[in-house]
Structure 1
């Protein structure tokens, strides 16, 4: 390289460096400019973004699942409601909520019935601070300084010194503000709390919607409440749900919270609503609240829209239920007009399909007096499974089968029906002396003595006139064990909580074993009685009673969605007896209803549905309201049955406790109710069969028309 070339190269180096420095300078200026924009122009925005934090799992209610009868008629529905809600952030103060409540009070009307005296006192102190200070004396403050009382005691003193005159100073408008704030305070942080959901007018919705930007935490949404198309019918069995104020029960709080519930969620608190809570509740709508460090909600992001609860299709037939309830009411009122019925106040009917255990009707009515002393009849369907009574001769089918199974008697065994004179006790006899009767005659005519002698044989006893009757006390357990195979004295397995199992007598004196054999010692529920007769009707299979037939997805457009679960028939146990033994009792039950001298023949003779069954009367003592007023013995009337006798499709139990006392010549309300409900069942069946046939014919005609049109 020459000297000139070297000189030229040295001259070019500063130029390149200057160009590089210029480029670096522009880059640096760009960075400074960008930092300036970020810090000065968007500084506050980015600061807020850095201070943001997320609060997840905020949920809101969805409609609860509905309930339908077996024919898809709605029994429990949901009525949609406009709702005004408030979601409290962790940073919101009492003063903030008071300001929002005041603003809301100018936009909506709020009921003040729930405002308590304590609410008023708290509000008075908050809104009248100067007057509230005067409620605390210098002596009070000195006690705090001296450590005699804690600081928070001063607030209690303020509350105690607020007079009625002070509270009278709160205006009606202020009470409305207080009622709104009371609802706002009841909610939990980050959880929507209902301020008003009943009677929200379109004008109120529009007014609040237009002011939402100035009402932080307030929102307009949709809520629901339970609707009962059939009013009080089956309400005790359907059960209840809690209100938003009650929320989840305290004793179940941990369980529900672990499942993702909120503290103010409405949940089932009894019977079907409680038993199927997991199905009916649905999947709540969930959102994510974005808040700043102070807890103010900056943004709400929807995570999931939620899904309504699944629907229950019950086994009940609402049309049959209505008719049965009507019959019970009419016959209760008619029986009450008879003499000796002062204790009579209730009656029950259970009808079920003995082939699969589906409960078709569970009805109960109770006569009560309101505060003014006026008599009325209330729904008491629940009593069919929660109350128990001595059932009398209706259980004699179980006694005869127990006799067969134990070897005490055999099909065709004949025994002498005669008064039994046991030392130290009144004569034990049937309602009439029948002479020699076999097992069928004993059932048909309802011989007590036949059952007594069967029980004596089971207890390894020997009857001698006017002598004592020693028996093996183990016979009590043996007979109860046989009875339990029919469902008597044990849980039926129904898919409802709080089922009663009845009372087992504790004394084991010989005479009581004889009483047990004719249904006059232990007590059973009307539902147990229905399960017992169903077991006889179907040939010895004890079926689990079922209240829910299907569980279906909700379908807003069609009403009924696809089934997600169907209840299959469930056999709890099979009687360990020969087929001919069960058929023998079935024949005895047929004769009760269809042959002369049968105790049910006078009411069921000529019935074209071929009934079978057993009547019952039990001497008892009143155990209802004001029982100290009624100490005299009374009589329970019962009846069980099924039809047709050779292919049973419906079984029933009728129980009328305390139907009459000794001053009366008795009555037959149990038989009248039984006949009427069975007539009605087959009448409705014929009607539905006709309707189904007509519909099939219409479908065929439409199908032909469509086919012809296509061709």
Structure 2
């Protein structure tokens, strides 16, 4: 019995000591390690996030703002670990608020399907119809105001676009009355905040769209690799990034210097604190070489002249000209003063792609013909042909070549545009009257000298390249193309080359060629940015110049200055009596050196008829004043049923008039004022 009692006591003592040890450990856990384990239980973690800096503004050469930032209110959402039911309820409550906005202000995020997609919480509504086209139609009906019917939709899991700790933004600009209402009721919208954001605004809408370019949110990046790369560089999904034009070329300048903040969150990723670690900084501003008023005037001239051409030229009413282009540069430093295409498009539409009218607008921005369009120069190449002939000793300055109206090359007969020809012709007359046969003779003399078509063409190309034809212009814009070589090696091809009917060039190349002739043979790099400027408080002007962008010499042509002067005189005579542009330039405010061109492009049947006709690209290049040029220019009108004398030349004349004050400038009105005026008329 005693042995049993002893064993029981030993067991009791052992259990007692074990209990005391457990009690002591529990006390330690509660009193000493409790806070540590509480934090561990909540999985408190610190995440470093980027804080965007203000994007730089873009100004014209006179300090007019062209692209700026406006502060707007938007909804952001940070997932607080809401259940599926809570998320669905939140989307419905946000729908009730956002659908009160006018549809032109919120064409997409006015329904819970799109709102839930923007919240990006791992759940999405999917139309129950299995047909993709019907599903798109169902979403479109919701956007147009059809009520949400739960029986037509089902919730499905969806992958997250970004980590949960990254705030989501609903890209809708909120008016003040909605902001006030939400602020009063914000507790009813878990995870939702009202925050300020910067919206990129293009002050004059469709002014110089092919120069300025546009931004898109990083989230719109089509490539996941590119998207991940941008995030690694500190961009946030809603940050703007330049896509094309100056916005893209100078992205590193225009992008605000990002700061950093520490976001502390618990196991449910609830944001507890946000501490700014490094303040963001505003970006530098960019000042363009473009003169906004002159640019708008050139755009207006192009649009008006397209209308005139389509209204007055037979068959053009059935098959209208669709576009016209012009580039105007300072030949001494390469400043691009105007770079225009009509029609253009409204840059602000890139922020409103869900609107059908905006999508149609920006379709015109998918391709930049000023940078990468290819056009045959036609007779605007002839000054170079004469220059080539003189420099290579193929013709003399006083030598006269008989123009009878035809020129035989083997079994092929080529023609002048003037029946019966121009008679005895020297180089000056050949440029003034645009004499094909003179150019053919230079080409055939070259052919006989070098012994073949291919070496002859390559010889001409090597001569043309230092003038800008066939070489990159160096323009500070992304996406520049260069010449498209012609094809075929028949003997007649060298004759085609000499009248600009063989190789194709971009408008910028043709403008640079005109500028090189204008300044006497120095090829300047073309550029659209004049300076990078420091930011100033409240964006009051471009700010002090951080560094200017000076004119840069690319090369000087190795040509006798006498021959350049000779060709310039021939171009001056083009606008004088007897010249191909005499009528268009009668009474011009300054003497103008010019060369017109008409390049045969394609043979077509005129719509609605059985008549077959050629369509032409018509051109004009030149500089003014002829003796001491201030501007050089290139004008191109593609798809014309007529000669350049009554299409491109009148445009060039109006551009010269506008620059020298003989034609009043076109109105330059910010889009907001224009919209206010239009609403007042309604």
Same fold, TM-score > 0.5, yes or no: yes
Of the candidates 439, 442, 446, which is equivalent to residue 434 of structure 2?
446
Distance across 2 between alignment mates of 1:286 and 1:635: 58
Query: CA RMSD, aligned part only?
Result: 4.6
- Per-residue CA distance 1:32-54 (angstroms, 9 max, x = gap): xxx99995599448833896654
Q: Does 1:194 align with 2:169?
A: yes
Secondary structure of residue in 1 paired with 2:39: helix
Query: Structure 1 residues 47, 345: CA separation in 2 closer, same or farther (over 3 Å shift)?
Result: closer
Q: Does 1:357 align with 2:334?
A: yes
Of the candidates 534, 538, 551, which is equivalent to residue 519 of structure 2?
538
Q: CA deviation at 1:298?
A: 2.5
> When the two structures are aligned, how many residues end up with a matched partner?
606
Distance across 1 between alignment mates of 2:76 and 2:158: 9
Corresponding residue of 2:349: none
| Structure 2 gap ranges (5+) | 1-25, 101-105, 346-355, 666-682
Corresponding residue of 2:206: 232
Corresponding residue of 1:335: 309
Q: CA deviation at 1:247?
A: 4.8
Of the candidates 560, 568, 576, which is equivalent to residue 586 of structure 1?
568
- Per-residue CA distance 1:446-484 (angstroms, 9 max, x = gap): 22111111111222269xxxxxxx744201111111111
Corresponding residue of 1:388: 374
Distance across 2 between alignment mates of 1:623 and 1:526: 24
Secondary structure of residue in 1 paired with 2:398: coil
- Per-residue CA distance 1:325-359 (angstroms, 9 max, x = gap): 22122221111122032252221111110011111
Distance across 2 between alignment mates of 1:182 and 1:682: 65
Corresponding residue of 2:476: 495
Q: CA deviation at 1:504?
A: 1.0
Distance across 2 between alignment mates of 1:182 and 1:116: 19
TM-score, normalised to structure 2, is 0.77
Contact 1:621/1:631 (CA < 8 Å) preserved in 2? no
Distance across 1 between alignment mates of 2:328 and 2:127: 63
Corresponding residue of 2:545: 563
Distance across 2 between alignment mates of 1:208 and 1:343: 52
Q: CA deviation at 1:551?
A: 1.8
Of the candidates 648, 651, 654, which is equivalent to residue 632 of structure 2?
651
- Per-residue CA distance 1:158-177 (angstroms, 9 max, x = gap): 9969x99x9999994788xx
- Per-residue CA distance 1:223-247 (angstroms, 9 max, x = gap): 1222222222322443232246525
Greater CA radius of gyration, 1 or 2?
1
Query: Structure 1 residues 160, 344: CA separation in 2 closer, same or farther (over 3 Å shift)?
Result: closer
Query: Structure 1 residues 410, 472: CA separation in 2 closer, same or farther (over 3 Å shift)?
Result: same
Of the candidates 440, 443, 450, which is equivalent to residue 455 of structure 1?
443
| Structure 1 gap ranges (5+) | 1-34, 129-154, 463-469, 688-711
Distance across 1 between alignment mates of 2:481 and 2:294: 25
Query: Structure 1 residues 613, 310: CA separation in 2 closer, same or farther (over 3 Å shift)?
Result: same
The residue correspondences of 1:383-532 to structure 2 (distance < 5 A) are 383-418=369-404, 419-429=406-416, 431=418, 433-460=421-448, 471-532=452-513
Corresponding residue of 2:179: 205
Secondary structure of residue in 2 paired with 1:599: coil
Distance across 2 between alignment mates of 1:684 and 1:187: 58
Of the candidates 205, 222, 225, which is equivalent to residue 196 of structure 2?
222
Contact 1:186/1:193 (CA < 8 Å) preserved in 2? no
- Per-residue CA distance 1:571-600 (angstroms, 9 max, x = gap): 12110112222112122222222x332222
Query: Structure 1 residues 622, 569: CA separation in 2 closer, same or farther (over 3 Å shift)?
Result: farther
- Per-residue CA distance 1:172-202 (angstroms, 9 max, x = gap): 4788xx99x999965542222113531x233
The residue correspondences of 1:235-314 to structure 2 (distance < 5 A) are 235-243=209-217, 245-247=219-221, 249-250=223-224, 252-293=226-267, 295-314=269-288
Distance across 1 between alignment mates of 2:612 and 2:438: 31
